[in-house]
Amino acid sequence: MLIEHSPNTLNWQDYEGRTPLHLAVANGDLAASEAVLNSRRCQLNITDRNSCTALHFAAQLGKTEQVLMLLDMGASSSIRDEAGATPLHYATSAGYMDTVEALMRHPEVMDEPDISGRTALIWTSGLEDRADMIQSLCRHGADLSHKYGLAQTCLHLLRFFTFTSHRDARGNTALHVACLSNQLTSVEALLRMGADPCAPNGAGQTPLSLCSAHGHAEAADALLTSLDEAEALDLLSRPDLNGMLPLHWTCARGHADMMVQLLSRFEEKNSASKSIEQTDSFGRTCAILAAANGSLNCLQVILFSNPRLFFYAFIACHTDIFMLVRSPTKNQDTAKIKKVLDTEK
């Protein structure tokens, strides 16, 4: 009745810029949404003060039926909010699988990056329990149905590769973000979908470097297990732009258990010793980094792995090491570290 007598009110906006369509969607009122949409004067893509359309609202709240209704009526899926996020970003962030799949099935919906270069896949990779969401995004991004010809299939393969290899403004892929957030199931899902565990970010850091820096042992193990022995050794030996290996990062951040885990991946003791002895771009070895950051446990690992390097650093007047060795530190677990290293030899 109101629409018939005052059709111009359909596109009026309140103090937050919301139209009747925004409010109908936000309230989950399917009948009201349909009534507004059926009016010819309804403008589907009006944005509120945060640059959000009604489709953003529907996606964020998981209103799948209204998402489909809006898309069928011609609502744009590519309009971005103030942060550059599309409705697909909203749906993945909120964790609504049905809504994400409804969006991804629509031919005009693409996983476009926000202003920080993050796609919806990157957004969801850093969140908890999103393995199914990741697989769904990748699957819809690479529909290899037999109905496509060779050229179209190649395009879909390229789109699939782009899904897992896209980088944000810092050069991080979805796998980097999952490792940084310590989301093991997401790491495993991305690896199954073909994500490259050796890809460097803008700082030259691989996902393993991020795991090493933050002590995320299970994620690191998943990365290394996905590779054969030669590839794993190559990944362990890859420096970032500052010349820091994953082992350097464990020492710099004091993750002794992580250091033991990485050293156990070296088949030959000489290879492990070379990595421990290697210097970064500033001439720092693992021992120097551990000493500078007060990590006695890491120094103990170095002592049992490569006594020559430890005492060389001591003779070279690295007083940080001298003071650490002389000063008692809580939670020293020398016997445990030695036992693990002896077992791995």
Over residues 74-116, the pLDDT tens digits come to 999 999 999 999 999 999 999 999 999 999 999 888 888 999 9
Answer for the pair 337, 300: CB distance below 8 angstroms, yes or no: yes
pLDDT digit string, tens, across residues 303-340:
877 665 555 445 444 444 444 444 444 444 444 444 44
Domain residue limits, the chain: 1-110, 118-226, 242-345
How much is the pLDDT for 301?
A: 87
| Six token digits for residue 124 | 């969801």
Average pLDDT of the segment spanning 283-311? 80
DSSP for 52-114 reads --HHHHHHHTT-HHHHHHHHHTT--S----TTS--HHHHHHHHT-HHHHHHHHHSTT------
pLDDT digit string, tens, across residues 156-200:
444 444 567 889 999 999 999 999 999 999 999 999 988 999 999
C-alpha–C-alpha distance, residues 174 and 123, integer Å? 8
| CB-based contacts of 71-74 (< 8 A; 24+ apart in sequence) | 71/102, 71/103, 71/106, 71/108, 71/109, 73/37, 73/44, 74/44
Does 55 have pLDDT greater than 80? yes
User: Can you tell me whether residue 12 is helix, strand or coil?
Assistant: coil
* Residue whose entry in the numeric block shows the structure tokens 């771009």: 281
Q: Residues 6 or more apart from 98 whose CB is under 8 A from it?
A: 62, 64
Enumerate the H helices of 205-245 as residue ranges.
Answer: 207-214, 217-225, 229-236
Does 4 have pLDDT greater than 70? no
Answer for the pair 219, 179: CB distance below 8 angstroms, yes or no: yes
Answer for the pair 160, 138: CB distance below 8 angstroms, yes or no: yes
The CATH number of domain 118-226 is 2.40.160.40? no
CATH architecture type of domain 1-110: Alpha Horseshoe (1.25)
Does 13 have pLDDT greater than 70? yes
Dihedral sign for Cα atoms in the order 287, 289, 290, 292 = positive
| Six token digits for residue 126 | 């850093």
| Six token digits for residue 30 | 């399917």
Identify the CATH number of the domain defined by range 242-345.
1.25.40
Chain centre to alpha carbon of residue 200: 13
| Six token digits for residue 345 | 């030899």
Domains 1-110 and 242-345 share a fold: yes
Burial (CB count within 10 angstroms: exposed 0-12, middle 13-18, buried 19+), residue 74: exposed
